[in-house]
Amino acid sequence: MALDTSSPVSLTALPYCPSAFGFRRRRTHVVMVGDVGVGGTNPIRIQSMTTTRTQEVEATAAQAERLVTVGCEIVRITAPTVQDAKAIGEIRRRMRSRGITVPLVADIHFSPAAAMEAANHVEKVRINPGNFADSRQFAIREYTDREYEQELERIEERFTPLVLKCKALGIAMRVGTNHGSLSDRIMNRFGDTPLGMVESALEFLRICQKNGYPDVILSMKASNPKVMIQAYRLLVARMDEIGMTFPLHLGVTEAGNDEDGRIKSAVGIGALLDDGLGDTIRVSLTEEPEAEIPVAARLAAPYQEAAERRFVSAPDPRETRDPYAFTRRLASEGGAGTWRIGGRETMRALQAITASNGTAPAGLVERAVALATAARPGAPAPDAVELPGDTAEQRGELRELAARLATEAPTVSVAARLTPSADHPDEAAAGAAVIHWVSPDPPLPDALLRAVAAHERALILETRVDGPTADAAVDRLLAWARRSIAAGIAAPSLAISSQDASTTIRAYRLLSARLHEAGLACPLHLVAPASDTPYERLLRTSVALGGLLCDGIGDSVEVRGEDERPSTRLAFNVLQASGARISKTEYVACPSCGRTLFDLQPVTDRIKSVTGHLTGVKIAIMGCIVNGPGEMADADFGYVGGAPGRVNLYVGKECVEKNVPQEQADDRLIALLKAHGAWTEPEHGG
């Protein structure tokens, strides 16, 4: 059945999951990839891709084997040419002779002939609908309806033989759309939008359906998590509309390496898993592929066994988000001192300084001052540092901190954390710009509200989700918000803490919707879910806060941990990955594959080391010119492998220097940054 994507359907009216306030994994049909079932009730499958040259058969087989050893369930290998496709046959033979039966996937771009050959040797063929049958050069042109039809006929002619071959051999296919490599046809009619990505896949899906071939898995990857999240949701909404149940392969492309790569992947993949979407995932890191597997496994773990769950006991409130297009929720403006929030204000970060074992209370002030004054390019200080303010001694420290920051870090505000044990809340209000009331229970002293209003302080009201639903916590916050507003506090911020990412996301969604119903626009202070280990905290924070920020929910963020520096860094990195606040250079780095023309990992590290101090610049580091220029998406500058030992440099999408010897390429990139006003000299010489 053909889908009319031009119909005047209200996208917000299309559901992409049964409830935004409940969890249920989307039921898809099962596609067998060898003996690994993807979709249905199968576990979320973990996969990766080799980075060796495919024709280096032994090296590729060995890397695939290492991937299997660490838990990879499906291994992809690039097949740029027919020769590479044949080499996969030999790789397969060697692996099978060693008893390794992991399904293999051939990754195809531009070459239907390579796809036809590869189909003989693998359990799945991945094609990119943007370049399977299209040219490498984007051209701007208007397509008449007739010309568009003719293009589709041409694609059908080229694609049908592969569909029929995969069907005859009983192997699977992935129609893998990439935001950065859409066809001319799609770009000219839809632009590089989520809708264009969906239509790109549907053009190919219709051909599969026409030929009675259901063994297709779909992906909608982008390096921008927001675009990727919207595209997958839109795809599901469209498929549901016409009764398609194809399984989904999730991934964020060109995520980069280290903490940033993990955060970006977790934001995009995690948000969708939490929507109940995704049957197999690949985390793309610019590292050895084995490093991707534990990240993917940890992201999938909470959803592998997850039962259906509701976070609201009443009928769902009306959703206020548009899940298919980013719009920041409009909150009332408020705040005090330099802590300005809501409206179009910058997304703020608050960092609590907590007493860990053996830390003398007096040490808290020094730690807070050290954090507030340690800002440097790419690593900002939090907008507010917070100390407890329950006792007279603690309030003395708050005053001391306020006095120190007034001269040593005047852009950083002081926040006081008060709990129901506070005896003199009005004194605390006098010492701090932000009062952060944290209570799991109803009491909220009138004296505190009077003090906050009288001293014109900012107020954050936080409670906790304790039971299976978020109803009670949301009701409590609504009551507190009304009392605060009645007391003369115009824009109290509201916050909810919880133990896991799912609860955090649903509780804030529910709070946002209930506020809207009540005609209130209080800012929302996002608190990261609790975690036992730093690594778990990194992933959970990325999923929960990143997911909310990509949906436009949130005005300030807080990541808790005994060590305030990594917590602050994580908060800013999640803001950056979600596009909510840019504080450092952004890198789009491909994970490398058999096409890569230079050693991506050291080159990426080197470029990061010389450009990491810049702010608001996006630099792409891509292994080849076949896919690199297309997939570096909206990067400002590109460093792309042009030939062995040679690099092509880009400004935006335009190649401005070709075949630069690799040993000169870093300097030439810096010269380009300078010529375009994107360079500042690093402090401390480096």
Find the angle CA(394)-CA(464)-CA(525) to the nearest 5 degrees: 75
Q: Which C-beta is closer to ligand SF4: that of 34 or that of 80?
A: 80
Determine the interface stretch with ligand SF4 among 57-65, 212-220, 476-484, 617-625 (rule: CB under 6 A). Answer: 617-625
For residue 152, what are the contacts with CB-CB under 8 A and spacing of at least 6? 203
Chain mean position to CA 641: 26
The tokens for 209 are 């359906």
For residue 188, count other CB atoms closer than 10 A to its CB.
Answer: 17
3-state secondary structure 155-201: HHHHHHHHHHHHHHHCCEEEEEEEHHHCCHHHHHHHCCCHHHHHHHH
Q: Which is nearer to ligand SF4, 262 or 509 (CB)?
A: 262
DSSP 8-state code for residue 149 = H
- The binder of ligand SF4 chosen from 217, 222, 626, 669 (CB under 6 A): 626
CB atoms within 10 A of CB 648: 23
> Which distant-in-sequence residues (6+ apart) come within 8 Å of 228 by Cβ?
179, 220, 221, 222, 251, 252, 268
Residues 570-599 that bind ligand SF4 (CB under 6 A): 590-593, 595-596
| 627 counts as binding ligand SF4 under rule CB under 6 A | yes
- Binding to ligand SF4 by residue 115, rule CB under 6 A? no
Q: Which stretch binds ligand SF4 (CB under 6 A): 84-92, 397-405, 539-547, 622-630?
A: 622-630
By the rule CB under 6 A, 642 interacts with ligand SF4: no
Q: Which range of residues in 131-139, 498-506, 576-584, 623-631 is near ligand SF4 by CB under 6 A? A: 623-631
- The residue to which tokens 């080849």 are assigned: 624
Using Cβ positions, the residue closest to ligand SF4 within the complex turns out to be 623
Picking from 501, 487, 572, 570, the residue whose alpha carbon sits closest to that of residue 23 is 501
When asked if residue 75 is in the footprint of ligand SF4 (CB under 6 A), the reply is no
In angstroms, give the least distance from the CB of 213 to ligand SF4: 26
Tell me, rounded to whole angstroms, the distance of Cα 223 from its chain centroid: 8
Residue selected from 95, 526, 614, 624 as contacting ligand SF4 according to rule CB under 6 A: 624
> In a 3-state reduction of DSSP, which class is residue 508?
helix
Q: Choose which of 180, 278, 431, 628 interacts with ligand SF4 (CB under 6 A).
A: 628
DSSP track, 465-490: --SSSSHHHHHHHHHHHHHHHHTT-S
Q: Does 622 sit near ligand SF4 (CB under 6 A)?
A: yes
Q: Does residue 203 interact with ligand SF4 by CB under 6 A? A: no
CA pseudo-torsion sign 20, 22, 28, 34 = positive
Q: Cα–Cα distance between 307 and 309 in angstroms, integer?
A: 6
Indicate the residue among 128 and 567 with the shorter CB distance to ligand SF4: 128
The pair of structure tokens assigned to 489 is 């506090």
Residue among 193 and 604 whose Cβ is closer to ligand SF4 = 604
Contact yes or no for 217/279 (Cβ under 8 A): yes
* 127 versus 415: smaller Cβ distance to ligand SF4: 127
String of contacts with ligand SF4 for each residue 499-538, x by CB under 6 A: ----------------------------------------
Min CB(590)–ligand SF4 separation in Å: 3
DSSP summary character for residue 286: S
Binding of ligand SF4 by 492 (CB under 6 A): no
Q: Does 285 bind ligand SF4 (CB under 6 A)?
A: no
Q: Which of 210, 91, 199 is nearest to 159 (CA)?
A: 210
* Minimum CB distance to ligand SF4 smaller for 180 or for 337: 180
Find residue 414's DSSP bridge partners.
385
Residue 292 as a binder of ligand SF4 (CB under 6 A): the answer is no
φ/ψ of 252, rounded to 5, equals -105, 125
Of 369 and 589, nearer to ligand SF4 (C-beta) is 589
- Binding flag, residue 623, ligand SF4 (CB under 6 A): yes
Q: Does 621 bind ligand SF4 (CB under 6 A)?
A: no
Count of residues touching ligand SF4 (by CB under 6 A): 13
Residue 128: in which H helix or E strand, if any?
Answer: none
Find the shortest distance in angstroms from Cβ 77 to ligand SF4: 11
Cβ closer to ligand SF4: 192 or 631? 631
CB of 630 to ligand SF4, least distance (A): 8
Residues forming contacts to ligand SF4 in the complex (CB under 6 A) are 590-593, 595-596, 622-624, 626-628, 631
